[in-house]
């Protein structure tokens, strides 16, 4: 076996080991999205609590945080306090809006959830699942940040707690509200 | 006369009803076929290697609903696939589109098979060439003492 053949063999094996490593020990929450930098779908749906229609169209020109959740979702309960804290942090900024999107849920269950855990912002219902598909949602919780130009700037799959809370508040929303560019890897 | 009119109206009703019903069924079946054909090409994003036609997951059901709604609105199958691609990327397709890095997915197995085959062929040929034609070398000559002992044992 020549040296070049041995080298090729080693490189191929290393490549295969890398693929196995990524598949088995990579971050399962990292799901590449094609939506970053694209126009946010202007979805609308009835308010979970009042039934009045909420449309993203009415929040054009603001930084919008969309949080997909469901009452049956354990990780949504895990992130609930952090999400409320996030809203408390930015709610006084007139250029910030936060909307919850209730996904694959029964209305009474969703209403009971909000009553039990509390809320300080509006939540729209995704009645037929169309909103979630428009945003390429895989499951809940998923969080999207939309900039003032109506472009999706960030997406996160999983509970917004700990370092993700810090990242979203300090590295994504705060700079966007100041009109600063953000680096937003998917 | 009145009897005759009643008969004609009844006959027309009987004749028209089944045909219109059948037309509806045929339309529905055609739509179902189209939904199925498109749904089979789209991956259920929350399942393991299942398309949205076969999956029972709520998201897959909703995706089938979106396919049906868009077909009813007159969208073509290509438009519908393009819509899902724009939301979920190449991952949504059961067969990844053949472009960019996806070529590795399509060509990779064949390249590995060809490369592995060539490597194996070269190695086997090398082994064959390195192996001497006569597998056994002639034995070393016996010394006198060993030859006498051997003869003695053969005679006894």
Q: Where are the domains of chain B?
A: 30-97, 98-129
Residues A137 and A83 in one domain: yes
Domain assignment present for residue A186? The answer is no
Number of domains, chain A: 2
Same-domain pairing of A42 and A130: yes
CATH no. for residue A84? 3.40.30.10
Greatest mean pLDDT among B17-31, B61-75, B92-106, B126-140 lies in: B61-75
A159 and A127 share a domain? yes
Same domain, A3 and A79: no
Per-residue pLDDT of B81-130, as tens digits, reads 999 999 999 989 999 888 887 888 888 889 889 988 998 998 899 888 88
According to the model, what pLDDT value does residue B101 have? 79
A154 and A92: one domain? yes
Nearest beta carbon to residue B87 from set A5, A129, A134: A134
Contacts of B62 in chain A (CB under 8 A): 104, 128-130, 132-133
Q: Which of A133, A134, A139 lies at the smallest CB-CB distance from B46?
A: A139
Per-residue b or e along A105-131, where b marks 16 or more CB atoms closer than 10 Å to that residue's CB:
beeeebbebbeeeebebebbbbeebbb
Query: The domain containing residue A22 runs over which residues?
Result: 1-30
Give the CA distances from residue B148 to residues A49, B140, B145, B154, B156, in Å, rounded to whole numbers and listed in that order. 113, 16, 5, 10, 12
Inter-chain CB pairs, A–B, below 8 Å: 49
Q: Are residues A19 and A101 located together in one domain of the fold?
A: no
CATH hierarchy code of domain B30-97: 1.10.8.640
Asked if residue A22 has pLDDT above 90, the reply is no
Kindly determine whether residue A138 and residue B119, on different chains, have CB atoms separated by under 8 Å: no
Q: Examine the domain organization and report whether A95 and A166 are in the same domain.
A: yes
pLDDT interval class at B59 (50, 70, 90): very high
**Would A12 be classed as within a structural domain?**
yes
Q: Are residues A22 and A106 in the same domain?
A: no
CA distance B140 to chain A (A): 33
Neighbours of A170 (CB within 10 A): 11
On whether both A95 and A47 belong to a single domain, the answer is yes
Same domain, A108 and A52: yes
A4 with A60, same domain: the answer is no
Cis peptide bond prior to A88, omega within 30° of 0:
no
Q: Is residue A138 part of a domain?
A: yes
> Complex ipTM, two decimals?
0.85
Cα–Cα distance measured from residue A5 to residue B140, given in angstroms and rounded to the nearest whole number: 39
Cβ separation A128–B46 shorter than 8 A: no
* CA–CA distance, B136 with B85 (Å, rounded to integer): 67
Q: What is the DSSP letter of A39?
A: B
């Amino acid at each position: 076996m020549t040296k070049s053949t041995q080298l090729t063999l080693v490189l191929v094996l290393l490549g295969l080991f890398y693929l196995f490593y990524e598949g088995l020990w990579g971050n399962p929450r990292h799901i590449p999205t094609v939506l970053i930098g694209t126009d946010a779908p202007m979805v609308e749906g009835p308010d979970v609590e009042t039934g009045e229609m909420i449309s993203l169209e009415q929040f054009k020109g603001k930084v919008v945080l969309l949080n997909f959740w469901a009452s049956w979702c354990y990780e949504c309960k895990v992130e609930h306090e952090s999400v409320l804290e996030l809203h408390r942090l930015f709610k006084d900024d007139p250029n910030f809006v936060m909307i919850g999107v209730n996904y694959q849920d029964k209305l009474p269950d969703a209403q009971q959830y909000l009553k039990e855990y509390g809320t300080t912002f509006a939540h729209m219902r995704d009645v037929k699942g169309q909103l979630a598909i428009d945003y390429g949602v895989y499951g809940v919780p998923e969080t999207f940040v939309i900039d003032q130009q109506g472009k999706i700037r960030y997406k996160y799959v999983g509970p917004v707690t700990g370092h993700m809370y810090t990242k979203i508040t300090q590295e994504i929303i705060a700079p966007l509200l100041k009109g600063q560019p953000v680096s937003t890897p998917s | 006369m009145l009897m005759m009119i009643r008969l004609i109206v009844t006959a027309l009703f009987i004749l028209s009803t089944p045909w219109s019903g059948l037309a509806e069924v045929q339309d529905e079946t055609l739509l179902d076929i189209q939904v199925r054909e498109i749904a089979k090409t789209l991956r259920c994003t929350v399942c393991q290697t299942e398309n949205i036609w076969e999956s029972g997951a709520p998201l897959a059901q909703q995706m089938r609903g979106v396919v049906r709604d868009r077909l009813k609105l007159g969208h073509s199958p290509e438009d519908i696939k393009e819509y899902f691609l724009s939301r979920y990327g190449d991952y949504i397709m059961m067969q990844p589109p053949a472009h960019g890095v996806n070529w590795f997915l399509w060509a990779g197995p064949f390249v590995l098979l060809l490369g592995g085959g060539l490597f194996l062929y070269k190695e086997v040929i090398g082994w064959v060439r390195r192996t001497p034609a006569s597998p056994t070398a002639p034995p070393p000559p016996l010394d006198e003492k060993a030859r006498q002992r051997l003869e003695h044992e053969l005679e006894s």
